[in-house]
Structure 1
Amino acid sequence: MSFASQPPNLLLTCQPSFSPERSITAPIKCNAVPIVERAIARHEVREIEQRHTQDGVRERDSAASSPSEGEDDLVIIYNRVPKTASTSFTNIAYDLCGKNHYHVLHINTTKNNPVMSIQDQMRFVKNVTEWREMKPAFYHGHVSFLDFTKFGVKRKPIYINVIRDPIERLVSYYYFLRFGDDYRPGLRRRKQGDKKTFDECVSAGGSDCAPEKLWLQIPFFCGHYSECWNVGSQWALEQAKYNLVNEYLLVGVTEELEDFVMMLEAALPRFFKGATELYKTGKKSHLRKTSEKKPPTKESIAKLQQSAIWKMENDFYEFALEQFQFVRAHAVREKDGELYLLAQNFFYEKIYPKN
């Protein structure tokens, strides 16, 4: 039978026929298969694939809208360094907690002491890990880094933080103590009434602008060790760097706070979904500004930069900035002046065993 003599609704399919008696291929046998049947079969396959795709989308959307049990157990600790835009960032967490269903707790230590007693460390670790009614939770406060592994904790909290150029941070703090800010303008500050400028303080060798006052970001990251608070300690600097890369999910910089917020939203949507838009448009995002702040002169900056303490604090800041920019380069791109997050660029394949 020739191909031309086949009925129009049949398709000729051919396959070799193997003889069990001989290891050679027998003549090819051809069978007629109705085209209609093949079309029906293809249609059924497409329907099955569509159902699988739709099921996958539904499962994905369900997972996105319904946090997993692990996400509901998450705890974030933001051991905020003073005068690094920490209030502006924390306001975002407060604005989102109701919508994203988590708790925000302020760690208010006596006299803002960043070092806890050993008994308070135990209480704090116990609270953070066992206070189930408060999970998921976002803790924030002016407290130095606390290593949870020393307390036998199986699941550690996620640490985040923001740091700032050390001289800019000191200048902001200097004027904050004297004039306050626009967050609570009526609150009397510790140095209120002192009209001396930062430049005048540096020129006179005052204690509030001394290089020793720069020593703050390093000990905050170094932690609850005595050496961390020894001004100018090289060990403290190295420990702070170690903790930054090993214990913190992300450390941003004040000068690039929007990027920090965007990356947190991408990495931790359980907490920060909607944070970027809120930062851009929310009234509270840029609420706190130090009043009466005057930029220091080049002479004042140069005098501070001669100190070994500034060199160490600046070393730490540059280290943190480089790490942040490295993480950002692998997460964010800029186009037409707008930042956008990179899509997922990994996938799974060669999954075994096959079902």
Structure 2
Amino acid sequence: MVSSYSEPSVYVKHVCFTNFTEAPWYYVERKQIFPDLPLPDPNWLKKDFESCVLKGDRECRYLEGEVHEGIGDHRRQTLFFCGHSEKCTPFNTVGALERAKLAVEKHYAVVGVLEDMNTTLTVLENYIPRFFQGATNVYYDQLNSFTRINRNFFKPPVSEEVKNLVRGNFTREVEFYQFCKQRLYRQYRALKLRSDVL
């Protein structure tokens, strides 16, 4: 499907980085691939995050090098930027971190951060105007509908104790996030410097 689009095109879907120059690929919904996969136990679905972490349940341990059920998981950003290589799958490893950083530098004009939407939108508008010209205006015009769609009123609070336990195992995820954030701010400062010269 993606290869049938004319250039330039935008494909919006929650998928790992794919280097289209190295290998073609296709994406099929999980249920289509595993139609007989059983649904999780209702008690597991009702389990809160704090209990999961404090009891050391497998899905909340976040152990370095662990592979989640033989596939990548959605608990981290490095996986999405690292890609589909087996070296990307183990959790919180130096190899996945370095591959993710390299992919960002080599293949992404801009990687934004949600905590600083103004900077992200400014950089996107200036670095990729063909797709993002006017994005700031669109974003603020639609802001009320965005907050309604993505708000979770049933999300229970998580204590600082549990957050600190989890942070301790996400060291390379935090490093990757800081790397992307610093890169974004360098791009923003470059725009300011360029406008000062002009």
Query: 1:24 maps to what in 2?
Result: none
Which of 317, 324, 329 pairs up with 2:189?
A: 329
**CA separation of 1:137 and 1:284: change in aligned 2, threshold 3 A:** farther
Aligned pair 1:294/2:166, yes or no? no
Query: 2:9 maps to what in 1?
Result: 137
In 2: Cα distance, 1:295 partner to 1:321 partner: 26
TM-score when normalising by structure 2 = 0.72
Which of 233, 237, 241 pairs up with 2:101?
A: 241
Higher relative contact order (CA 8 A, sep 6+): 2
Which residue type is aligned with residue 126 of structure 2? A
Contact 1:144 1:223 in 2 (8 A): yes
Query: 2:86 maps to what in 1?
Result: 226
**CA separation of 1:332 and 1:196: change in aligned 2, threshold 3 A:** farther
Which residue type is aligned with residue 209 of structure 1? C
Cα distance, 1:232 vs. partner? 3.4
Query: 2:176 maps to what in 1?
Result: 316
Aligned pair 1:284/2:156, yes or no? no
Which residue type is aligned with residue 269 of structure 1? P
Query: 1:211 maps to what in 2?
Result: 62
Which residue type is aligned with residue 235 of structure 1? G
In 2: Cα distance, 1:240 partner to 1:332 partner: 27
Larger radius of gyration: 1
Cα distance, 1:146 vs. partner? 1.3
Structure 1 runs of 4+ off > 6 angstroms?
189-193
Contact 2:110 2:127 in 1 (8 A): no
* 1:95-126 Cα deviation digits (max 9, x unpaired): xxxxxxxxxxxxxxxxxxxxxxxxxxxx74x3
Query: 2:18 maps to what in 1?
Result: 146
- Specify every segment of 5 or more residues in structure 2 that has no aligned partner in the other structure, as ranges: 25-38, 64-72
- Specify every segment of 5 or more residues in structure 1 that has no aligned partner in the other structure, as ranges: 1-122, 153-188, 334-341, 347-355
Which residue type is aligned with residue 236 of structure 1? A
In 2: Cα distance, 1:199 partner to 1:268 partner: 41
Cα distance, 1:151 vs. partner? 5.2
Contact 1:244 1:251 in 2 (8 A): yes
Matched position secondary structure for 1:312:
helix
Aligned pair 1:304/2:156, yes or no? no
* 1:119-156 Cα deviation digits (max 9, x unpaired): xxxx74x33xxx33xx442111121111123259xxxx
Which residue type is aligned with residue 155 of structure 2? K
In 2: Cα distance, 1:151 partner to 1:231 partner: 24
**CA separation of 1:272 and 1:235: change in aligned 2, threshold 3 A:** same
Cα distance, 1:210 vs. partner? 2.8
* 1:1-53 Cα deviation digits (max 9, x unpaired): xxxxxxxxxxxxxxxxxxxxxxxxxxxxxxxxxxxxxxxxxxxxxxxxxxxxx
In 2: Cα distance, 1:285 partner to 1:136 partner: 26
Matched position secondary structure for 1:252:
coil
Cα distance, 1:263 vs. partner? 1.9
In 1: Cα distance, 2:184 partner to 2:93 partner: 24
Which residue type is aligned with residue 245 of structure 1? E
Cα distance, 1:315 vs. partner? 1.4
Cα distance, 1:197 vs. partner? 2.9
Which residue type is aligned with residue 137 of structure 2? E
* 1:226-271 Cα deviation digits (max 9, x unpaired): 1111223321111111111121100011211232122212222322
